[in-house]
Chains A and B, each alone.
Chain A
Amino acid sequence: MTDTSVETPVLTAPEHGENGARGTGTPMIVFEAVTKIYDPNIVALRDVSLTIDKGEFVFLVGPSGSGKSTMMRLLLKELEPTSGRIIIGGRELNRLKRSKVPMLRRNMGCVFQDFKLLSNRTAFENVAYALKVQGDSRSAIRTKVPEVLGLVGLGSKMSQMPDELSGGEQQRVSIARAFVNHPPLLICDEPTGNLDPDTSVGIMQLLYRINRTGTTVVMATHDREMVDKMRRRVIALDDGVVMRDERRGSYVA
């Protein structure tokens, strides 16, 4: 579970993160003057410029509606920016061909705020789907999926449907699915939002361990205690504008 040196055509994890907290100097994510305006006239992001290096662990904080989820959706190329450029692993998303988008997403684990589980599939099958899309063999799926589900503490609930799981359990299935590929980049939208403090700490430790292996982790959160305790880079958004970007930051200035 600690080996994430997965070589991929779109993104590559750094050789080894000697210090998980700090970046390696090569950029993983670059936002260049990105503005996103939703359809009628809602400005979700306003002229955002930032760089996140490979191997970094970054908290994205800010009040509700400040644009955190919008940033994640832009990274997945689920949305297009109204203006500006986004570069991931050296690839400019605006220029990325439609046919290359699935490749990008397979190399990017994503924990969604609303989980986005397939409602008519078991926990096992939900995680397995992320492997099936890239053509993994059935034997590989049979070993990788239970392993990662065990890691998030759901080893005994693999054959349950999402609606038979609690909110926190669904969230952990979503985390397992995001990580089962060992992607070089993991973006998590409030991965601990529905979890009790003990489980939250467990998930944070898991994310920390994942980051230690060189995976870049970007995590949007409202969990003040966690942010203050971890002392990692904090990017604070407010009303679509970057208010603060601190190397060893806290939840509030």
Chain B
Amino acid sequence: MWPRARLFLQEALSSVSSNLSTTIAATMTVLIGMFLLGLFIALGTWVLSWTNDVKRQLVVNVYFCTDVTCENEVSRGQIEDIRSKLVSLPQVKDVQFISSEEALEIQRKRTPALVDNLASNPLPASYKVTPHKGEDVSKIAAQLEPVPPGVEKVNYGKKEADRVLQVAKIIGGIVLTGSLLLIAASILLISNTIRLSIFARRREVEVMKLVGATNWFVRGPFMLEGIITGLIGSILAVILLIVAKEVALSKIVERDWLSNDDVSALSFPLIALTLVLTSLLVGAAGSGITLRRFLRI
């Protein structure tokens, strides 16, 4: 088996060098296809991660009665009752109590001028209820319907939340179909380039068969050539992606709205591995499948 593998490699390498222009064309095709795919996967997973982060910020606010907003101020017992009810809900991840003083502090940070002119604290105490999934905020709010005693109102920013969730869904769809389309397009593009180069050499295949080469003896070097092309093309694409990441992305990430630690793309080594494996597979399978019809001699 080993001398045969060496022979295949020699044949493949000499074929690569004697068909240099088609090899370069095929390599460039792989390079472009895989670069775009890599870019798309990186951007796509980053955007997905960003929408997830936005979804994570969706919460349900339960505002308690003050003596101004209701007839009676909320009691400790009522606050505890509502907590235990919320905690028992399967969708709820966390319940955080925010006293009216804390609410004022938060407000002071946002709009200092407004708060400084207040005679007394008009803000109610509240629960900030964090769901496991952003989509569940409406369900949690529905559990507090009708409003239990001691609660003034339940608010989850219905309109905002609905919009965020819708946008997230659309982005997810775009990323998924885009990736699939791009994968399909690059597979088609690469295998078509391989097809063309094999078509140009079908006489060669015919001669090989007529002097007694087995199908595998013909196929081996061709498939190895496809693998070499795929390997070089995808490695170049990965290098290009690294350069793009270092040069372009580093400048954008300086901006604060992007520099969120909770938002990140699929890890780069994983993307690189995906690209290299995809091109290897397409290179080998593309050559093998295209050759089939010419081997029937």
Q: Which residues of A contact B18 (CB under 8 A)?
A: 120
Say yes or no: is A236 at the interface (Cβ < 8 Å to chain B).
no
Q: Which residues of B contact A102 (CB under 8 A)?
A: 209, 212-214, 217
Most chain A CB atoms below 10 A, which of B206, B209, B211, B213: B211
Using known A-B contacts A120-B18, A133-B217, determine if residue A103 contacts B204 with beta carbons closer than 8 Å.
Answer: no
B contacts with A, residue count (CB < 8 A): 19
Q: Which residues of A contact B297 (CB under 8 A)?
A: 78
Q: Are B212 and A119 in contact (CB under 8 A)?
A: no
Q: Which residues of A contact B217 (CB under 8 A)?
A: 102, 133
Residue of B4, B19, B207, B212 touching A116 (CB-CB under 8 A): B207
Q: Which residues of B contact A119 (CB under 8 A)?
A: 203-204
Say yes or no: is B181 at the interface (Cβ < 8 Å to chain A).
no
Minimum CB–CB distance for B295 against chain A, Å: 10
Q: Which residues of B contact A117 (CB under 8 A)?
A: 207
Q: Which residue of B lies closest to A112 (CB)?
A: B210
Minimum CB–CB distance for B186 against chain A, Å: 29
Q: How many A-B residue pairs have CB under 8 A?
A: 51
| B interface, over-half SS | helix
Say yes or no: is B9 at the interface (Cβ < 8 Å to chain A).
no
Q: Are A105 and B7 in contact (CB under 8 A)?
A: no
Q: Which residues of B contact A130 (CB under 8 A)?
A: 211-212
Say yes or no: is B285 at the interface (Cβ < 8 Å to chain A).
no
Say yes or no: is B208 at the interface (Cβ < 8 Å to chain A).
yes
Q: Are B212 and A103 in contact (CB under 8 A)?
A: yes
Q: Which residues of B contact A105 (CB under 8 A)?
A: 209-212
Residue of A104, A118, A120 touching B208 (CB-CB under 8 A): A118
Minimum CB–CB distance for A166 against chain B, Å: 20
Residue of B4, B208, B210 touching A110 (CB-CB under 8 A): B210
Q: Which residues of B contact A137 (CB under 8 A)?
A: 3
Q: Are B19 and A120 in contact (CB under 8 A)?
A: yes
Give Cα distance in the complex from A107 to B32, angstroms: 47
Give Cα distance in the complex from A85 to B214, angstroms: 24
Q: Which residues of A contact B7 (CB under 8 A)?
A: 132
Minimum CB–CB distance for A102 against chain B, Å: 5
Chain A: interface size category: 20 to 34
Q: Which residue of B lies closest to A129 (CB)?
A: B211
Q: Which residues of B contact A36 (CB under 8 A)?
A: none
Q: Mark A80-112, 1 if CB is under 8 A from B, else 0.
A: 000000000000000000010011111000101
Most chain B CB atoms below 10 A, which of A104, A120, A177: A120
Most chain B CB atoms below 10 A, which of A102, A112, A134, A135: A102
Give Cα distance in the complex from A110 to B210, angstroms: 9
Q: Which residue of A lies closest to B206 (CB)?
A: A116
Give Cα distance in the complex from A64 to B210, angstroms: 23
Say yes or no: is A76 at the interface (Cβ < 8 Å to chain B).
yes
Most chain B CB atoms below 10 A, which of A106, A129, A130: A129
Q: Which residues of A contact B203 (CB under 8 A)?
A: 119
Q: Mark B150-187, 1 if CB is under 8 A from A, else 0.
A: 00000000000000000000000000000000000000
Chain B residues 207 to 249 lying within 8 A of chain A, measured CB to CB, are 207-214, 217
Q: Which residues of B contact A99 (CB under 8 A)?
A: 214
Using known A-B contacts A106-B212, A120-B19, determine if residue A135 contacts B4 with beta carbons closer than 8 Å.
Answer: yes
Using known A-B contacts A118-B204, A118-B207, determine if residue A133 contacts B213 with beta carbons closer than 8 Å.
Answer: yes
Q: Which residue of A lies closest to B17 (CB)?
A: A120
Chain B residues 1 to 47 lying within 8 A of chain A, measured CB to CB, are 3-4, 7, 15, 18-19
Minimum CB–CB distance for A89 against chain B, Å: 15
Minimum CB–CB distance for B224 against chain A, Å: 15
Q: Are B211 and A177 in contact (CB under 8 A)?
A: yes
Give Cα distance in the complex from A105 to B212, angstroms: 5
Q: Are B208 and A133 in contact (CB under 8 A)?
A: yes
Give Cα distance in the complex from A112 to B203, angstroms: 14
Q: Which residue of B lies closest to A104 (CB)?
A: B212
Give Cα distance in the complex from A76 to B209, angstroms: 10
In the A-B complex, the 10 residue pairs with the smallest Cβ-Cβ separation, listed nearest first, are A106-B212, A105-B212, A133-B213, A120-B18, A102-B214, A116-B207, A102-B212, A130-B211, A133-B212, A133-B217
**6 residue pairs from A and B, CB less than 8 Å apart:** A117-B207, A119-B203, A119-B204, A129-B208, A130-B212, A135-B4
Q: A117-B207, A133-B208 are in contact. List 5 more A-B contacts (CB 8 A).
A: A102-B212, A102-B213, A105-B211, A106-B211, A130-B211
